Amino acid sequence: MSDDEVDHELLDLLRARFGIGPANPNAPPDTKVLQNAEFICDNSTDVALNMQYTKLAAIAVGEEMQKREYSTKVWSEHELHPKSKDESTVKFIFTMDLLNFSFWSDRSEEDRFSVTYKDKKWTGYFSLVAALQRALDEDIPITSPEFWVDEEKCTDEVLKKAFRSDTDEEMPMFEERVQCLREAGLILEEEFDSSITTLIENAKGSAAGLVNLLAERFPCFRDEATFERKKVRFLKRAQIFVADLWAAFEGEGYGDFNDIDKITMFADYRVPQMLHTLGVIAYCPPLEARMRRQELIEPGHPWELQIRGCSIWAIEQLRREIVKLQPDAKINAILIDFFLYDLAKEKEKTGDEAIPHHRTRSIWY
């Protein structure tokens, strides 16, 4: 080859490395969430990972998950989660994760938004699940996309009844949730014949493909931001929809994905809180002080993006360390996330929280 000739193979490698030029249509789907999290972590100045504590946490978390025989069955066994493995469960999960955001409250446990279902009071995320179950019992077709776009039947008054609270605190961001329902209903009607199963089938068995499809077609799933002049993706609710399908159907039927391990943790409030408790992530003094005072951090603030991005990368490091210790362990970021979330809720009940979770009002989580 002369000096004037172009080395096309090298050029293709450089284009792939720097994301230049058209994407390879034959490449397997990739959400870019993990790569973006690594970028955030590498450029973070206010949130840091501690690998020494990550190794120690891997021992403790791995052993505890093994002891509890933690698996997808834990999701299905919860009394509020649907038990049938059919289209009704698909619709329930989609509705649940469409609205699964911002349940924290500054009020006491007695005064915050809550839902009583079958004589039991529920708060936080489970208040949403309880409200959906209650609405279905009351013959409100709350999980039906056709219902969401029917302005005569699905009025704001009907939705307020479906999501009514036991207290005088209404469901946080109620208007935003209504907007998500109506927007998603129209997109499903126009592009997927109002069928969530058709949406899933369009992903052709790829978890990453379904996440990307949700982010591309549904603005309310497009959980992205700009950090250090680079677009970064978190895609919390899109990813948790895939994870919940996988867990509910135990990796079969509508939950059968050929690349489920591409799903990362779901960057929200509780898992970062637990990672800090374990010493895996640490905050700069001004950020930690803001969190301990339980003061608001605006969506898109560098602090918020660093908390979320570093948490995703931290769970990946934790997963890798657990696999080193237990090479045969059937474990991924989804199961670690589910486990740490449950652990955080246990500590909340017993008052053992080492630090409050960060406060951000957002539809993304």
Residue 121 to residue 164: CA distance in whole angstroms: 13
Contact 336, 61 (CB under 8 A): yes
Residue 334 to residue 53: CA distance in whole angstroms: 21
Nearest of 117, 127, 107, 120 to residue 169 by alpha carbon: 107
Long-range contacts from 283-292, C-beta under 8 angstroms, 24+ separation = 283/46, 283/47, 283/307, 284/45, 284/46, 284/47, 286/46, 287/46, 287/47, 288/355, 291/355, 291/356, 291/357, 291/358, 291/359, 292/355, 292/356
Residue in this structure with the two tokens 């898109």, named with its chain if needed: 300
Structure-token pair, residue 67: 């002891």
Residue 207 to residue 197: CA distance in whole angstroms: 14
Nearest of 346, 296, 307, 309 to residue 64 by alpha carbon: 346
| Residue 261 is among the residues annotated as catalytic for this protein | no
Structure-token pair, residue 83: 């038990």
Residue 45 to residue 279: CA distance in whole angstroms: 17
Exactly one of 268, 337, 342, 352 is catalytic; name it: 268
What is the separation of C-alpha 49 from the centre of its chain, rounded to a whole number of angstroms? 21
The catalytic residues are 268
